[in-house]
Amino acid sequence: MATNTIPALALSGVTSGYDTSEILQDVSLTVRPGTVLALLGRNGAGKTTCIHTVMGMVPAYRGAIQLFGENIVTLPVDSIVRRGVALVPQGRRLFSPLSVRENLTVARTADAAHAGPPWTIAQIVEMFPRLGERIHQRAGTLSGGEQQMLAIGRALMSRPRVLLMDEPTEGLSPQMIAEVSAIVARLREAGLSILLVEQNSKIALSVADDVAVLVSGRVAYTDCATELAGQPVLIERFLGVASAEAPGAGLMSYA
């Protein structure tokens, strides 16, 4: 785990939303360098809005968003990407007619003086061997799990220092959920800082270092992930789940 005291990503008093509707209200949270912060909450709590606000896709009306100490809250999306923030979006949003190689190639970031270490297609294929087997196959013909691997690989090609992941296990089989979870752990071990939005609370808490829970657009709880994982009463209160340790909980999705 990194010892740098400057947060990789820090939101301070952020209020954001759409037009005149405020979705996030006075949100403050911190992703420590080289760690995973799981952002949990019920449907409509503001999790995706939070990620989109960090990316500059949703305007922040108030507050600051700092990337390794630099305030990025007023920057456009392309400038935020060049500074090393990448998004693995919900629903993957690949270029379906393009091949696996082409999807990876178009995501390569050349002008990224402030970004993280470069990734090559060879490194992506080493991490995701299935993509290597399908390197010339159109993205739209891949399985759901393979598409998620490609979405993660595409994000890595933009040289992130901070990776935002929005529901990466959504709609996947139990085997693929386990594989994606292992990839998140590997990326953390490699020093990447990750903000993870995940419906599956047991999976999220198993890979995360820290956790924040949103309730109606506000941060209602922050702690280390192991602390919340050991408190089923709190999990039920915040997420409507009887127990994260219930039989089969790791295979279920929670809002």
CATH number for 221 = 3.40.50.300
Measure the CA–CA gap between 41 and 215, rounded to whole angstroms. Answer: 6
Does residue 147 belong to any structural domain of this protein? no
- pLDDT for 249 equals 37
231 within 8 A of 246, measured Cβ to Cβ:
no
Does residue 174 belong to any structural domain of this protein? yes
Does residue 40 belong to any structural domain of this protein? yes
Q: Which two tokens stand for residue 14?
A: 């952020």
Residue 46, domain extent = 9-95+161-251
Over the stretch 81-104, which tens digit does the pLDDT of each residue have? 999 999 998 877 888 899 999 989
- Count of domains forming the chain: 1
Does residue 105 belong to any structural domain of this protein? no
Residue 240 has pLDDT above 90, yes or no: no
Planar angle of CA 88, 37, 144, nearest 5 degrees: 30
Residue 243 has pLDDT above 60, yes or no: no
Does residue 240 belong to any structural domain of this protein? yes
Measure the CA–CA gap between 138 and 96, rounded to whole angstroms. Answer: 6
Does residue 101 belong to any structural domain of this protein? no
Over the stretch 6-48, which tens digit does the pLDDT of each residue have? 999 999 999 999 988 899 999 999 999 999 999 999 999 999 9
Which residues, 6+ apart, have CB-to-CB distance to 191 below 8 Å? 2, 33, 34
Calculate helix-pair angle for 144-156, 174-189, nearest 10 degrees: 10
Does residue 104 belong to any structural domain of this protein? no
